[in-house]
Amino acid sequence: SAVGRGPEVPFSSEAYRITATSRGKELRLTLTPVDLGESLHLVFRFGMSGSFRLCPAAELPRHAHLRFLTGESPPRALCFVDVRRFGSWRLGDAWQPDRGPCVLTEYQAFRENVLKNLEDKAFDKPICEALLNQKFFNGIGNYLRAEILYRLKIPPFEKARTVLEALKDQEQERRKKNSSLTLSKKLKLMRENPDLLELCHTVPMEVIATEKNVFDPDDSDNYAAFKSWLQCYLVPGMSYLRDRNGRTVWFQGEPGPMAPKGQKPHKKHTQLKADPQALAPKVTRRTSKEHPRAAANPPKSAKKEKKEKKEKEEEDGLRKGRARGRRKATTAVALSEPQAKMRLRASTRRSRGEVGSP
């Protein structure tokens, strides 16, 4: 499309196949001609709103920035749709070099990459910020970090190195204890007592394993299924803060010792629906017109009313006195000098009890 930020795709073929491979937060498409011809690779990053959608070519969705048309009649289009345009694609088959092993497809390499690099300055940061570093946690995003930390009851602003070094010690002890166990028993213990790195693999696998496409915002049933799966992210009763990168962190309990200073955790409240069977307070026509606040405010005692009336009268008296003084001052300014002197002499005579015209 004209507003797409990706490069032009120099590929044309009467018939070709599209295959896909994912790694962390990247997806590689391979376009392979059915007849002779060279394949073309495209590597996509999805940003916050990127997705693929197959639809009739005559009914293209908005923000369909790249389209692969079919040869059938009527034709359909496989579209890369990105409303916010944070996503992108580039030519070639190379993965982005600064991304680590995938938490899903390269779990053992991912785990080793984290544990052998704990001296890296990335782990000086809170664990919630370290989890979004794709150099070590390729595939973990904002909602996943909230769900992982929530299940383990880890404060999001605990120092990352503190959390992961303890995990390293636990792994060594576990290996000693489980050296004589069979593989099936080791897997059972892992499922019952997972650590943080294991949850980085199993939690996103739960989403992928669901039968429905829970991320389709156009399908209310599917999106409802995703919301019901969430235990922490956007869930009423959970607290949230912004990390130092401006991303919202959802959690339960204390935020941890490295929480940003000057921020107080906010809590998401449940939006209660109105009960149609609840009795509404009766408000008469006369009350609602003449005294609109009478139905909302409880009746006051006579003593309290008398006190408030007296305070109001005193306040009105002071206000009138100030207004009168302002009017006198204005009048004095408006008078000519001889007139002002005549008024002053007349006022003086009256004060002395003298009779005379002003």
Which domains does the chain possess?
A: 16-91 (3.20.190.10), 107-268 (1.10.8.50)
How many CA atoms, within 13 angstroms, populate the side-chain half-sphere of residue 19? 8
SS (H, E, C) 240-299: EEECCCCCEEEECCCCCCCCCCCCCCEECCCCCCCCCCCCCCCCCHHHHHHCCCCCCCCC
Q: Which residues of the chain register pLDDT less than 50?
A: 272-296, 329-336, 340, 344, 351, 354-358
Q: Two tokens at 263?
A: 């921020």
Q: Two tokens at 272?
A: 């209660």
Positive or negative: CA dihedral 170, 174, 175, 177: positive
pLDDT of residue 290: 44
What sections of the chain are H helices per DSSP? 107-115, 127-130, 142-152, 160-177, 183-192, 196-209, 220-229, 285-290, 302-334, 337-352
Is 13:40 a contact under the CB 8 Å cutoff? no
pLDDT of residue 245: 93
pLDDT of residue 319: 58
- Cβ-proximal residues to 73 (8 Å cutoff; 6+ apart), any chain: none
pLDDT of residue 168: 78
pTM of the model: 0.68
Nearest to 217 by CA among 17, 101, 63: 63
State the amino acid at position 250 in one-letter form. Answer: W
pLDDT of residue 25: 93
pLDDT of residue 281: 42
pLDDT of residue 310: 66
